[in-house]
Amino acid sequence: MPTSDPPTSDLSVTPRTVPPADRPDGDRRASDQHAAGVAGPSPTSGTGTRPGTGTVVAEEQAAPVPDPEPRPRRPVRVLEVLGRMDRAGVELRALNLLRRLDPAEFRLEFAVTSGAPGSLDDEIRELGSEVHYCRVDWLFPIRFLRLVRQVRPDVVHSAVATFSGVVLALARVGGVRRRIAYFVSSADRHGTSLRGRAQRAVGRWLLDRCATDIIAVSEAAMRGLWRETWRLDERCRVIYNGVELEPSGVAIAARRRAGEPEVDESDGVTVVHIARPDPLKNRVRAVEVFAALRARSVPARLRIVGRQDPAETAELTALAERLGVADDIEFTGEVREIPRLLAGSSLLLVTSLHEGMPTVVLEALAVGTPVLSADLPGVSEIARLLPGVTTLPLSASDVLWSDTAEMLTAIPPTLEQRREAMRLVRRSPFTMDTWQRDITAVWS
């Protein structure tokens, strides 16, 4: 009596075991392959019985059709929202990142809420990107939504303080899936008035509901613009600013030729203050501290570097004339090679009222130039990891500031000390490579 075959499925079959002598050669080969763990032809959904054997076998399957070539992945489109593309910390860092990005991976464009052209616009366009002017007024929502439909970004990366809440709310309406708030300062411009507090509260409320990621350049910036309990929010992350080290190395190498003196003593002490024209940068205090230093008979000069505003420049010039130091102050305007300027300076002076993490401090440390700064929390975070930073409260007298400046400039750093300073920065978390890796990881 024939034995019944085991049940079979639509996808595979298990043939009944028969003695080798009773099998045709094909069955014997299949059995040998099965015993050796070698896969034979893949079965199809049909089954049948080979004539003359009573053995259930699978019908042979046609050769599989190869998968089509995968489509190349579209680059991630990022729209970064800033105030104006001038030579300042966050804007220069964005430009450096644009130079580094692989266009097959990322497409970075900029929207400026001032609606005004900046000094970096032409260079951005030469690199194949674009600057979109989107001025903040009552038509801003319409302009920005139109821009989102035009650019179709995968990411909106907004660095306009708590106004980023409005930007990211509009990005959400426009269907942008990744919406990043990027805090680069420890305070916004709304102040402590009732209106200012209301604007700040609305911005934070919108951020809480519309931001997918919240990034700050320092813990101080995160606490100042977001909240003290930021560590409990899984969207929050601190990514320290980074600096390019190659220009620093070039600046140090150009500091002198072999055998030349380290410093030209006829130049005396050169103090540099680098900032944009903004009351928060407190250029007035820099002039006052410098005047106190000159009153100590220190042969010094002050370079005020950065974009000039005619009204502010007139105010600073009048102050310098009253203090008797107008002939010792130079307004240089914007300077492209900041590392070379810093390497040729005796001291970087930082008198800002608020900062997130000033990149210029990192640039000074990378060429071994000492820093005298207001005791800002972001600067203190740098000082915890790198030497070369001295801080004083802004409430301290100009005499104390000038005493400290004289002490820091008494002995110029040697060439080897500058090189060692750059090596320390390279081993720190404040490099452009680290910053780029962490930012693009969030974008991805």
Report if pTM > 0.85: no
Contact 137, 116 (CB under 8 A): no
In a domain, 70, yes or no: no
- Rounded to 10°, the helix 377-385/359-366 angle is 30
Q: What is the pLDDT along the chain (444 residues), one digit of tens a residue?
A: 444 444 443 333 333 333 444 444 444 444 444 444 434 444 444 444 444 444 444 444 555 666 666 666 789 999 999 999 998 889 999 999 999 999 999 999 999 999 999 999 999 999 999 999 999 999 999 999 999 999 999 999 999 999 999 999 999 999 999 999 999 998 887 777 888 889 999 999 999 999 999 999 999 999 999 999 999 999 999 999 999 999 999 999 987 653 444 444 446 899 999 998 989 999 999 999 999 999 999 999 999 999 999 999 999 999 999 999 999 999 999 888 999 999 999 999 999 999 999 999 999 999 999 999 999 999 999 999 999 999 999 999 999 999 999 999 999 999 999 999 999 999 999 999 999 999 999 998
At 191 the pLDDT is: 75
Q: Residue 116 and residue 378: Cα distance in Å, rounded?
A: 29
Residues 279, 215 share a domain: no
Quick one: 176 and 141 in the same domain? yes
* pLDDT confidence of residue 87: 86
In CATH, what number is assigned to the domain containing residue 172? Answer: 3.40.50.2000
Task: Report pLDDT for 118.
Answer: 93
Q: Identify the DSSP state of 81.
A: E
Residues facing residue 389 across a β-bridge: 371
Neighbours of 436 (CB within 10 A): 16
Residues 312 and 368 in one domain: yes
Decide if 89 contacts 307 (C-beta within 8 A): no
pLDDT of residue 267: 61
Examine the domain organization and report whether 82 and 132 are in the same domain: yes
User: Structure tokens of 89?
Assistant: 């910390």
411 within domain boundaries: yes
Burial of 377 (0-12, 13-18, 19+ CB in 10 A): middle
CB 207 within 8 A of CB 175: no
My answer on whether 332 and 411 are in the same domain is yes
Work out how many domains the chain is built from and give that number.
2
Q: What per-residue confidence (pLDDT) applies to 70?
A: 61
Buried b (16+ CB within 10 A) or exposed e, 304-327: bbbbbeeebeeebeebbeebebee
119 and 204 share one domain:
yes
How many Å apart are CA 351 and CA 395, to the nearest integer?
A: 11
The answer on 271 and 150 residing in a single domain is: no
| Nearest alpha-carbon partner for 364 in 336, 351, 345, 384 | 345
pLDDT for the residue 88 = 84
Domain shared by 228 and 295, yes or no: no
Q: By three-state DSSP, how is residue 243 classified?
A: strand
| 415 and 438 inside one domain | no
Under 8 Å CB-to-CB from 6, ≥6 apart: which residues?
14, 16
DSSP class of 431? B
Q: Are residues 206 and 165 in contact, defined by beta-carbon separation less than 8 angstroms?
A: yes
pLDDT at position 73 is 77
CA gap 326, 235 in Å, rounded: 50
Do 190 and 258 lie in one domain? The reply is no
User: Do residues 307 and 276 lie in contact, with contact meaning Cβ atoms separated by under 8 Å?
Assistant: yes
Which one-letter DSSP state was computed for residue 20?
Answer: G
| Cα 15 to Cα 26: distance, rounded to the nearest angstrom | 13
Residue 60: the pLDDT is 47
146 and 287 both lie in a single domain: no
Which range marks the domain in which residue 376 is found? 246-428
Beta strands, E only, 54-114:
56-60, 76-82, 106-112
Residue 360 lies in a domain: yes
Residue 45 lies in a domain: no
Report the C-alpha gap between 301 and 270 in whole angstroms. Answer: 5
